[in-house]
Amino acid sequence: MRTATATYHAPEGDSKVAVMGGVTFPDGEPVEINDKEHSHLMNKLPGNPHFEVEMGEDEPVKRGPGRPRKEPEQEPKEPAPV
């Protein structure tokens, strides 16, 4: 999952809070976003002159335990000679 920090810089005389894509950006305060929940913003905000965006590192997606591994079948062992 890719993450980013977006900071809104309000133009003079404009609102001190911007709401985009359901995310509230207070003026001057960094807000964490990610491509899982905010993919539209991850692509749009870097081109917006009122936002400073710092892209984070791609983080591996954490998955649940899943199914147990199936051990390869082994050939039956022959009885030891007596």
Is residue 8 in some structural domain? yes
The residue ranking higher by pLDDT, 31 or 69, is 31
At 19, the amino acid letter reads: V
**The pLDDT of residue 81:** 73
Is residue 47 in some structural domain? yes
- What pLDDT digit, counting tens, does each position of 10-67 carry? 999 999 999 999 999 999 999 999 999 999 999 899 999 999 999 987 766 566 666 6
Based on its alpha-carbon atoms, the radius of gyration of the chain, rounded to whole angstroms, reads: 25
**The pLDDT of residue 78:** 73
Is residue 70 in some structural domain? no
pTM of the model: 0.68
Q: How many domains does the chain have?
A: 1
Range(s) of the domain holding residue 49: 2-55
Is residue 80 in some structural domain? no
Is residue 9 in some structural domain? yes
Report how far apart, in Å, the C-alpha atoms of 60 and of each of 2, 39, 56 are: 9, 16, 12
Is residue 64 in some structural domain? no
